[in-house]
Amino acid sequence: MNFIQKHIKPILSDQKPDYVLLILASILFITGMIFSYSLSIFTVDYFDYNQFHFLIRQAFVGFIAIFIMFFFAHIRPEVLFDKYKIGWFLFGFFIILMSVMPFLPASFVTQSGGANRWIRLPGFSLSPVEFFKIGFIYFLAFSFNRKFIGINKVSFTQELKMLLPYFFIFSIAVFLIAVLQKDLGQVVLLGTVLFVMLIFANRSAKLFVMIITTAIAGVITLILLAPHRVNRLQSWWSSVQDSILAIFPESIATVLRVKDFPEPYQVSNSLNAIYHGGWFGVDLSNGAMKLGFLSEVHIDFVLAGITEEIGLVGLSFIVVLFITLILRILRISRRIENSKYHLFSLGIAIMLVVAFIINSYGIAGIIPIKGIAVPFLSYGGSSVLSLGIALGLVLSISTNMKKEY
């Protein structure tokens, strides 16, 4: 009893967390578990896995994530952020881990497209970038709160000097993720988070014009330096060029048109899966495109697989749950007086929205495909655990919300 009074009670929050957010996140995690079973049937058969191979793994990490959310939800945010410095650990430890990955023996890493993206551990693989994203958002929230909040009247030169350390750190992240891991999608996500959080830190319009110009130049450079990105872009353009070039004069359209380039079969099969599902789907586990026609359907193309099985109506229900979850996070961010907590909650909401948009636009052929996991739904332990930590921290922050009158 004395131990509880001395050590446990001081870290517990006196106010209730946002249980609606906890329930919404738990439902989405469980939905991801269900489809990790339903959509992985071809992979299970191809590699001769146990029938419940992916379900067991996803359920294991999923329920750990739910437990983390529930546990963090009842802890004071100052304990998690200031005493135990979870945000700083995620930022510092995982950027170091990404830095040493290229030098690890082949037996310790898993390659994807010629790049080391996962670290092999007993029984599972760890993707450091998923956890680094949470730490990066905390770093921005903590630092912006100290340097920018309440400071408006500074010259453009002074403002630029204030931002140079952030551009330097972001450049390191670009090198580690986009160059060494060949993962441009995660860099685009982190850059968008940085940009939006700067908006809420009240920076000048001149700064944003410069950032946008630099970002466009940087993305173009990263694409041109990697032949596989150029091929992917040409492949995507071949599938959308007819509808876009129709509005241009023929002389311009002829120059911009890509000839004799195959359309991306993955996107074609993804669209076929969505079309096949129709309004109400073909029923759970009865999808056809997952049977070898659409690779990694339980990971990168999970939204297409879900739509085929439960239809646009079922997908719309999932999207409504997701939007409601985002609105709950933004509600927490709006009602928090502490600017650091406000910016962190906002950053997590931006991260989730951008990841969902990049993936959904990719499978629909609106933008080139990027290997970004769909929050809650894509199979992957690192993604699920990092989300559990991120939302657990937001739930902890929710205990400090102002009451609405």
**Does residue 204 come out as left (phi exceeding 0), alpha (psi in the -120 to 50 range) or beta?**
beta
Structural contact between residues 38 and 284, judged by C-beta atoms closer than 8 angstroms? yes
Task: Please tell me the pTM assigned to this model.
Answer: 0.92
- Determine the distance from the C-alpha atom of residue 21 to the mean position of all C-alpha atoms in its chain, rounded to a whole number: 18
Q: Write down the pLDDT at residue 405.
A: 44
Residue 322's CB: how many other CB atoms inside 10 A?
21
Q: Write down the pLDDT at residue 30.
A: 97
Q: Write down the pLDDT at residue 28.
A: 97
Q: Hey, what are 344's tokens? A: 């962190």
Residue 50's CB: how many other CB atoms inside 10 A?
9
Give the DSSP H or E segment for 275: helix 265-277
Structural contact between residues 377 and 321, judged by C-beta atoms closer than 8 angstroms? no
Nearest-angstrom CA–CA distance, 197 and 56: 37
- Determine the distance from the C-alpha atom of residue 209 to the mean position of all C-alpha atoms in its chain, rounded to a whole number: 25
Mean pLDDT by 10-residue block, N- to C-terminus, for the chain (405 residues)? 59 89 97 93 86 93 97 94 92 94 82 73 86 96 83 75 88 90 90 88 75 85 80 76 78 75 74 89 86 82 93 96 97 92 96 95 84 90 96 95 65
Structural contact between residues 193 and 351, judged by C-beta atoms closer than 8 angstroms? yes
> Which amino acid makes up residue 182?
K
- In 3D space, the residue among 221, 215, 209 whose CA is nearest the CA of residue 190 turns out to be 215
- Convert the pLDDT of each residue in 215-245 to its tens digit: 888 888 888 877 777 777 777 777 777 777 7
- Convert the pLDDT of each residue in 160-195 to its tens digit: 888 888 889 999 999 999 888 888 889 999 999 998
Q: Hey, what are 387's tokens? A: 């989300």
Radius of gyration of the chain (CA): 22
Q: Write down the pLDDT at residue 26.
A: 97
Q: Please state, for a pLDDT cut of 70, what percent of the chain lies above it.
A: 93
Residue 328's CB: how many other CB atoms inside 10 A?
23
Nearest-angstrom CA–CA distance, 218 and 269: 31
Residue 5's CB: how many other CB atoms inside 10 A?
9
